[in-house]
Structure 1
Amino acid sequence: MGFNNEIQPSRPNVTEILTKMRSSEYFVDQSFQRRLVWTDKQKVRLIETVLMEYPMPEIYLWEQVPDAETGQQNFSIVDGQQRLSTLREFTSNEWPLKAAFLDLEHQNADYAGKFWKDLSTDQRAAFFQYNINARRIPSAVTQAEIRKIFSRLNETDRSLNPQEMRHATLNGAFLTASLDIADSEEMKQLEIFTKDNIRRMADVEFASQLLGYERKGIVNDTPRSMNELYDEFSSEYSSAATDTSKVKSSLLKISEIFLDHKVRNFFATQNYVYTLHTLLDTEQGVIPPASWRKPLAEFIEAYQAAPKDDDPSSQIDVNISEFRKGAISRTRSKTSRTQRLFGLKNWIEANYPDLN
């Protein structure tokens, strides 16, 4: 069945959209939307687009079955959550139009630096009357069909990375567990993701990698292998609760290890947090976090002081060399991940045989 003829165009203005968002007639289905983490610059640029009366990309609204008693009909925002939420935030005076984020030719415009309340009456009236191109998807279309539509809309759009495509087009237990970890305090307090990383769902992808380790051990991480992981554990993931708890516990221990600033500054990246996660797993959690700080700090000193591998005048510790190979090669391959893990693990065991 095709849907193009059934998806009707409309042009609601900002007033209509904001009214329906505030009354929850327009709502967001988080199961296939990107999470709302736009940068300040992106928000300002969108508002500038409206003030310039330039068109913004169209939005997609999915009609819900009307209430049989009242006739009230709500709409799921299938595509356009961040744009519409930005309009609502600005008109609620949550942030100003920072001049540095505007086009160079508009950085001295009369709206530069202003909050919504500071705009002129004419500017606010024109803003409310701005029309947005919208597509209304009939309620008869199922959520599974919505995912197919969204996938087709974006499959040639390079603005969506592989993880965003998974979030938009897939569903199931593995994605739910990955989102749980990505949104957890244990993940957030590591502070290894920028706002833009989070917007592009790098934290969800990393959470998927950690869950993948719990199921498969160290493996090559490619878009294809990640898709296969999602497929395998989408509907049947009996160990989801156990795996999620184990990953969160590991991330909490890593945060405690990071109380040593030298260790944090070196290891606070996705690849090295993955290495620490696998290291803690091999030790089965018997060593308290505080006991790891000194060995890791001294490993960093030894690693940074070690001569280059191709320096013929001096010998390099074999474990340092192994870790270095894993650090400079393809960082998400099985080989490099294994080299980093065992280079670090073997160096610590050689230098701290009584670690406890």
Structure 2
Amino acid sequence: MINNLFEKIKIESRNAKFLYDGQKSQEIVVDNSFQRKYVWMLKHQVKLIETILMGFPIPEIYLWQQNTNPDTGETQFSIVDGQQRLGALIKFINNDFALSKVNLDDENKEVFGGKKFKDLEPEYKANLWKYSFSVRFIDDAVDRETIVKLFLKLNSTEFTLNPQELRNAQFDGLFLQLAEEIAGLDFWGKYQIFKDTDIRRMKDIQIISTLLIFLRKGIEEEYSQKNINQVYDLYNQSYDEKDEDKLLFKKVLEKLDEILLQDDKKVLLEIVKVKTHFYSLFTLIYFLVKSDKYTDFKKISLLLVEWFEAYKNSSTVVDSLKFTGLFEYKQANQEATQSKASRLKRFEKLKEYIVSYY
């Protein structure tokens, strides 16, 4: 299919009005099964709109023909490439952002600076609506596998896809679905575990994926990108333990939430935002939940507060008898933090401390 793909693509010009109306009517849609989340920051959006208003060319838009209504003839198109450009166009026309002066060329600061679409002079509004986009229309005979390969190729340069965004394009099965479902839980937003930039670039999905891999394969599993890809492939079509893992994951988060709520000193609120600490806490709580012997989570919360207070304090406190394993925990948190040995060491020292003083 790749060899004759060129024959299945037609290049045509379409104005901004066509693209805006298409997205508004859902005739032009983002295919979330392989597209990444919206990535562009404000400065990128401003520069694109400035380019359009100046009448300069921008890269092509790729639309893949999908469903055609046999009665009306209306056809739906999926965005293969151009989500960022079309997203910025729609948001600007909807007055969702202004053209910040700091992101404009000097000669345009006075004309466009600080203005939303509604504030533009009529001639510039008209020019924006009439702006001609170069659109490549891909025939519906092209299969999804070829479309994904095209998408990955087009995104191999500017705003290069990170490993998780590549996985999102390559896999659309059960393992990814569970990771995305867990990412939608209230817990993450409640404690601001992930930054907006993490979510935009799907880093939250990757971290949740490593935690799911821990549930499936244990703490000694490697987390190289190659290994994560293999797990995605393994559980893409068949994932019999999906419901079991979902319930267990939620149980661990519920207990972590209980621990955080009982921390009157708020020591743990910053700790959980550090990914290495979060992983260590997750693996520890998993152990406590599975053992069924450690059910007093108020006491566990107090112990963890003491541990991480000592972690943040001077070495004299760290070296005290109660925190004999903290030095090794610190070392494992500073050197090769994602290695199997470091993850295992942090878990062991934290577990030894809780078990000893529970």
TM-score (norm 2): 0.89
* Partner of residue 193, structure 1: 194
Q: Is structure 2 residue 248 aligned with structure 1 residue 246?
A: yes
Alignment of 1:278 with 2:283, yes or no, is yes
**In the alignment, is the contact (CA less than 8 A) between 2:81 and 2:154 conserved in 1?**
no
Q: Distance in 2 between matches of 1:174 and 1:26?
A: 28
**Match of residue 99 from structure 1:** 101
Q: Equivalences for 1:121-270 in 2 at 5 Å?
A: 121-155=122-156, 159-218=160-219, 219-259=221-261, 260=263, 261-270=266-275
Identify which of 23, 28, 40 aligns with 2:25.
23
> What is the rounded CA distance, in whole Å, between the counterparts of 2:67 and 2:310 in structure 1?
65
Contact 2:307/2:323 (<8 A) preserved: no
Name the residue aligned to 2:340: 334
Going from structure 1 to structure 2, the CA distance change for 1:241 and 1:44 (only over 3 Å counts) comes to farther
Distance of aligned partners of 1:113 and 1:318 in 2 relative to their CA distance in 1, 3 Å threshold = same
Q: Residues 156 and 230 from structure 1, CA distance in 2 versus in 1: closer, same or farther, beyond 3 angstroms?
A: farther
Name structure 1 gaps, 5 residues minimum. Answer: none
Consecutive unaligned residues of structure 2, counting only runs of 5 or more, are none
Structure 1: how far apart are the matches of 2:173 and 2:259?
A: 33
Determine the C-alpha separation between the residues in 1 that align with 2:88 and 2:157: 26
Q: Is the deviation greater in 29-38 or in 274-283? A: 29-38
Distance between the aligned counterparts of 2:20 and 2:159, measured in 1? 30
- Are the equivalent residues in 2 in contact too, given 1:306–1:316 (CA < 8 A)? no
Q: Is the 8 A contact 2:62 2:138 kept in 1?
A: yes
**Matches of 1:106 and 1:280 in 2, distance apart?**
58
Q: Is the 8 A contact 1:178 1:207 kept in 2?
A: yes
CA distance, structure 2, for counterparts of residue 49 and residue 182 of structure 1: 36
8 Å CA contact 1:11–1:133 kept in 2: the answer is yes
**Within-5 A mapping of 1:105-120:** 105=106, 108-120=109-121
- Three-state SS of the structure 2 residue aligned to 1:332 is coil
Partner SS for 2:78 = strand
Bigger Cα displacement from structure 2, 254-263 vs 317-326: 254-263
**For residues 209-233 of structure 1, what are the alpha-carbon distances to aligned partners after superposition, in whole Å with 9 as ceiling and x for unaligned?**
1111111111221111111111111
Deviations 1:273-323 (Å, cap 9, x if unpaired)? Answer: 111110001111653554333211111122233529xx9x99995411221
Decide which moves more: 90-99 or 274-283: 90-99
> How many pairs does the alignment contain?
349
CA spacing shift, 1:268–1:290, aligned 2, 3 Å: farther
Judge conservation of contact 1:163–1:204 (CA < 8 Å) in 2: yes
> Any idea what SS the aligned residue of 2:112 has?
coil
More helix by share: 2
**Cα RMSD (Å):** 2.5
In the alignment, the residues of structure 2 paired with residue 284 and residue 115 of structure 1 have an alpha-carbon distance, to the nearest angstrom, of: 53
Deviates further, 77-86 or 170-179: 77-86
Amino acid at match of 1:59: I
Q: Contact 1:186/1:251 (CA < 8 Å) preserved in 2?
A: yes
- TM-score using structure 1 length: 0.89
Q: Check conservation: 1:321, 1:343, Cα contact below 8 A.
A: no
Alpha carbons of 1:106 and 1:307: their partners in 2 closer, same or farther (altered >3 Å)? farther
Instruction: Give the aligned residue type for 1:83.
Output: R
The residue type equivalent to 1:182 in the other structure is A
* Identity of matched residues, %: 35
User: 3-state DSSP class of the match of 1:192?
Assistant: coil
Q: CA deviation at 1:204?
A: 0.8
Mapped to 2, the partners of 1:168 and 1:215 lie a distance apart of: 23
Q: Relative to structure 1, is the Cα distance of residues 93 and 142 closer, same or farther in structure 2, using a 3 angstrom cutoff?
A: same
